[in-house]
Amino acid sequence: MKVLVIGSGGREHALCWKLAASPRIRKLYCAPGNDGIAQIAECLPISVDHSEELCVAAKRLQIDLVVIGPDDCLANGLSDVLRAEGLAVFGPSQAAAQLEWSKAYAKYFMQKYHLPTAAWEVFTDADSAKEYLKRSHYPTVIKASGLALGKGVVIAATFAEAEEAIDEMMNQHRFGKAGETIVIEEFLTGREFSLLAFCDGQTLQIMPPVEDHKQVFDGDLGPNTGGMGTVSPLPYLSWDEAEEIRETILQPVLDGMRMEGTPFQGALFTGFMLTQEGPKILEFNARFGDPETQSLMLLLESDILDIFLACCKGTLSQEKIIWKKQAAACVLLASPGYPGPYPKGLPIQGLDTLPEDIIVFHAGTKIDQGEWITHGGRVLGVSATGPDLPSTLHRIYHAIEGISFSGMHFRKDIGKRKEFSK
């Protein structure tokens, strides 16, 4: 079979890495990919924004399956364009992906189908939002309704901070159109985790629970990022407990989407807060997470091609998915300045001397005159599996000591929150 992966980051590298292990794949492509992905797949120089060009290329190359990585591709309807041409696609329709690209829609959906989430209000003008803030409890959460690369969420400790966040989103247009509508919601306390699931529109199968570390600095300090590191599984959430969440929350999500006339087929990512009242939904993503995928692909024993095809055919319930009984982790190495402005073109040393049991997923790199250089904010995802989380993380951090580029920074406390010591 011929498979085309859409995207260019660490998530897509991890998906390509797993797909490349399938004996059934004759040719693997990625558009546009990156120089790390180019080591295992043929990269096509086509932007993810060029839906028609991607469609033409897929038909010309006689692609049997297209796997869509980025959220903006789904929001722009790439899956619909490809399916209209008769191509098999792993990824939801534009209408189904609304769970992610409109936080306002997601909140109304959760209300309609009685799904547990934080108390909330939606606003389309700044003055009304600020009036609401005067009656709010703090801290409170301000979210841009649209896509903001994982950075459109502010936890405001005071009215002044909340007001500033609203001005940045709605008046200064920090996130463009994504901030024209905002959601203000109750601040939840507990343990935050993510539960991803393969979906075929009717049924779903969950992946191991995973936890991301979103803030840029140790101790969960600093601004939100796209994610600085992930670990899986979680000591405070058993597989049986995750299955209960699948049955009581995620299956109703899938049923609700079908009743709305927008069946969800692809990867459903649900962010949860495990509160004293039980798990509550924080947000939905309509695709694989980044860097969650980098950990999860290392744990997947089954052939992912079979799973993707089952999702496309509506036969997922017949698929037995096997996961390794191990721990996995991924630590992101970032450019100086990230998540703000950052330089590119910094030489990277040490990638050719890493142990064989360390897997490095390329997120923002490039080869220049035969040498690796930085080409993004999040540069590399250093990943591994092992019998337990502490030993796995020890090996990852030891490997990181051998990698360097000017101004490189990373969190040194991935998987070391107090809940992981239990």
How high is the pLDDT of residue 151?
A: 74
Question: Both tokens of residue 332?
Answer: 């992101």
Residue 216: pLDDT over 90? yes
Say which CATH class 2-91 falls into: alpha beta
Residue 14: pLDDT over 80? yes
How high is the pLDDT of residue 9?
A: 97
Residue 225: pLDDT over 60? yes
Which helix (H) or strand (E) element contains residue 174? none
CATH code for the structural domain at 119-186: 3.30.1490.20
In whole angstroms, give the CA distance from residue 218 to residue 258.
41
HSE-up (13 A, CA, CB side) for residue 187: 15
In the chain, % of residues over pLDDT 90: 95
- Neighbouring CB atoms inside 10 A of 420's CB total 17
Residue 386: pLDDT over 60? yes
CA proximity to 73, closest of 153, 8, 139: 8
Residue 123: pLDDT over 70? yes
Residue 157 backbone zone (phi > 0: left; psi -120 to 50: alpha; other: beta): alpha
**pLDDT tens sequence across 172-184:** 999 999 999 999 9
Are the C-beta atoms of residues 149 and 100 closer than 8 Å to each other?
A: no
Cβ neighbours for 271, distance < 8 A, ≥ 6 positions apart: 192, 193, 194, 281, 282, 283, 284, 285
Residue 286's alpha-carbon distances to 36, 210, 259, 406, in angstroms, are 25, 16, 17, 35
Alpha helices in 8-139 (DSSP H): 10-19, 51-60, 71-75, 78-84, 98-101, 103-112, 126-133
In whole angstroms, give the CA distance from residue 316 to residue 139.
41
- Neighbouring CB atoms inside 10 A of 85's CB total 12
Residue 149: pLDDT over 80? no
Angle at the Cα of 168 from the Cα atoms of 163 and 169, rounded to 5 degrees: 100
Question: Both tokens of residue 262?
Answer: 């927008």
CATH code for the structural domain at 327-421: 3.90.600.10
**CATH 3.30.470.20 applies to domain 189-318:** yes
Question: Both tokens of residue 163?
Answer: 């007001």
CA proximity to 287, closest of 35, 87, 85, 6: 6
Q: Phi, psi (5° rounding) for residue 59?
A: -70, -40
362, with CB counted inside 10 A (0-12, 13-18, 19+), is buried
Torsion sign, CA atoms 173, 143, 292, 82: negative
Torsion sign, CA atoms 367, 373, 379, 382: positive
Residue 61 backbone zone (phi > 0: left; psi -120 to 50: alpha; other: beta): alpha
In whole angstroms, give the CA distance from residue 202 to residue 260.
13
How high is the pLDDT of residue 30?
A: 98
pLDDT bracket for residue 147 (50, 70, 90): confident
Torsion sign, CA atoms 280, 282, 286, 289: negative
Question: Both tokens of residue 188?
Answer: 């939840």
In whole angstroms, give the CA distance from residue 57 to residue 55.
5
Sequence ranges of the domains in the chain: 2-91, 119-186, 189-318, 327-421
In whole angstroms, give the CA distance from residue 300 to residue 338.
30
**pLDDT tens sequence across 279-323:** 999 999 999 999 999 999 999 999 999 999 999 999 999 999 999
- Neighbouring CB atoms inside 10 A of 398's CB total 12
pLDDT bracket for residue 223 (50, 70, 90): confident
Q: What is the pTM of this model?
A: 0.95
